[in-house]
C-alpha cells in the first residue's frame, strides 16, 4: 500500500522511480495460483545441425508478453542437455546485447559460456543493452577447439 520506490543500477548509475503501487501486485489477474509442474529434463531441445549458433530464444519454455511487440515481460528459458555439432562455428553463446534485462540461473548441469560454470543456485544479471558473452577462458578454449560433436550435460 502506498508509494513504492524501485531502484535499478545501469551503466554504473543508480536510477530511481516511484510508483503509487507495488510493481508486484496482480491487479486484473485472470489466472490462478495453482502450482505448475513440468519435468524440465523432458523439454525437447532443438539446435543447429549445420553451422552458426542459434538464437537462445529457441530454448524458451514459458513467456509473459508485454504490450511492446518483441519484448517479453519475462521469458523462462531452459538449456537442457544437448549436442553441439555446428561446423566452422564458435559454439558458446556469442557476445550480444538485449532489449530487455536477462537474468540467468543454474539449477543443475553445465553452462557453456563460463569455463568454471555456475554452481547450482548461482546466476547472473545482464541489464538491458549491456554487452555480455562468454568469459575469456571459454572464448580462448572455443576458438582453438577441434570441432567434433560435443555433449553439454
Known binding residue 33? Answer is no
DSSP 48-94: -SSSSPPPGGGGEEEEEE-SSTT-EEEEEE---SEEE--TT---SPP
The catalytic residue among 21, 30, 33, 53 is 53
Alpha carbon separation from 44 to 34, 57, 79, 101, 110 (Å, rounded): 24, 14, 10, 25, 17
What is the distance between the alpha carbons of residues 39 and 97, in angstroms, rounded to a whole number?
A: 30
Helix (H, G, I), strand (E, B) or coil at 124: strand
Known binding residue 96? Answer is yes
Confirm whether 53 is a catalytic residue: yes
What is the distance between the alpha carbons of residues 37 and 42, in angstroms, rounded to a whole number?
A: 12
Known binding residue 111? Answer is yes
Nearest CA among 122, 81, 119 for reference residue 105: 122
Known binding residue 102? Answer is yes
Residues serving a catalytic function are: 53
Residues making up the binding site for Fe cation: 96, 102, 132
Annotated binding site: 96, 102, 111, 132
What residues are designated binding site for homogentisate?
111, 132
Amino acid at each position: 500500500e502506498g508509494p513504492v520506490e524501485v531502484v535499478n543500477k545501469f551503466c554504473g548509475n543508480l536510477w530511481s522511480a516511484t510508483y503509487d503501487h507495488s510493481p508486484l501486485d496482480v491487479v486484473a489477474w485472470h489466472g490462478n495460483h495453482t502450482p505448475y509442474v513440468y519435468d524440465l529434463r523432458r523439454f525437447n531441445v532443438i539446435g543447429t545441425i549445420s553451422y552458426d549458433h542459434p538464437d537462445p530464444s529457441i530454448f524458451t519454455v514459458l513467456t509473459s508478453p508485454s504490450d511492446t511487440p518483441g519484448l517479453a515481460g519475462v521469458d523462462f528459458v531452459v538449456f537442457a542437455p544437448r549436442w553441439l555439432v555446428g561446423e566452422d562455428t564458435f559454439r558458446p553463446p556469442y557476445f550480444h546485447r538485449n532489449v530487455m534485462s536477462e537474468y540467468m540461473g543454474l539449477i543443475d548441469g553445465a553452462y557453456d559460456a563460463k569455463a568454471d560454470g555456475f554452481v547450482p543456485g548461482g546466476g547472473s544479471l545482464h541489464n538491458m543493452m549491456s554487452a555480455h558473452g562468454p568469459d575469456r577462458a571459454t572464448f580462448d578454449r572455443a576458438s582453438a577447439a577441434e570441432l567434433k560433436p560435443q555433449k553439454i550435460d
